[in-house]
């Protein structure tokens, strides 16, 4: 298998037009691969930190935070 350096040397031996063509084709390949990447959902975060907040009353926590703002 060719290494990155091997391929780079081969590309340097191409004409400028061939290099541009290669760049365009590589950009197309990368774009296509990025489109195939599954999109993430905010719902994947559901339940994170659940243990941290267990047993804490949300309203009481907010009240304490607001009180701390006033010094």
How wide is the angle at C-alpha 58 spanned by C-alphas 56 and 59, nearest 5°?
Answer: 125
Better-predicted residue by pLDDT, 53 or 13: 13
**Could you tell me the pTM of the whole model?**
0.48
Kindly indicate the confidence band of residue 46, based on its pLDDT and cuts at 50, 70 and 90: very high
* Structural domain count, the chain: 1
Kindly indicate the confidence band of residue 42, based on its pLDDT and cuts at 50, 70 and 90: very high
Flag whether 19 is in a domain.
Answer: yes
Residues ≥6 apart with Cβ < 8 Å to 19: 11
Quick one: average pLDDT of 27-34?
A: 92
Average pLDDT, the chain: 92
Nearest-Å Rg of the Cα atoms of the chain is 27
Flag whether 69 is in a domain.
Answer: no
- The number of C-alpha atoms within 13 Å of 1 and in the hemisphere containing its C-beta is 2
Residues ≥6 apart with Cβ < 8 Å to 10: 2
Q: What domain range includes position 22?
A: 4-36
Provide the pLDDT for residue 9. 96
């Amino acid at each position: 298998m060719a290494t990155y350096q091997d391929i780079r040397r081969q590309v340097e031996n191409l004409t400028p037009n061939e290099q541009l063509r290669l760049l365009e084709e590589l950009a197309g390949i990368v774009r296509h691969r990025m489109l195939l990447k599954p999109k993430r959902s905010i719902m994947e975060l559901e339940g994170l930190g659940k243990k941290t907040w267990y047993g804490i009353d949300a309203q009481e926590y907010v009240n304490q935070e607001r009180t701390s703002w006033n010094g």
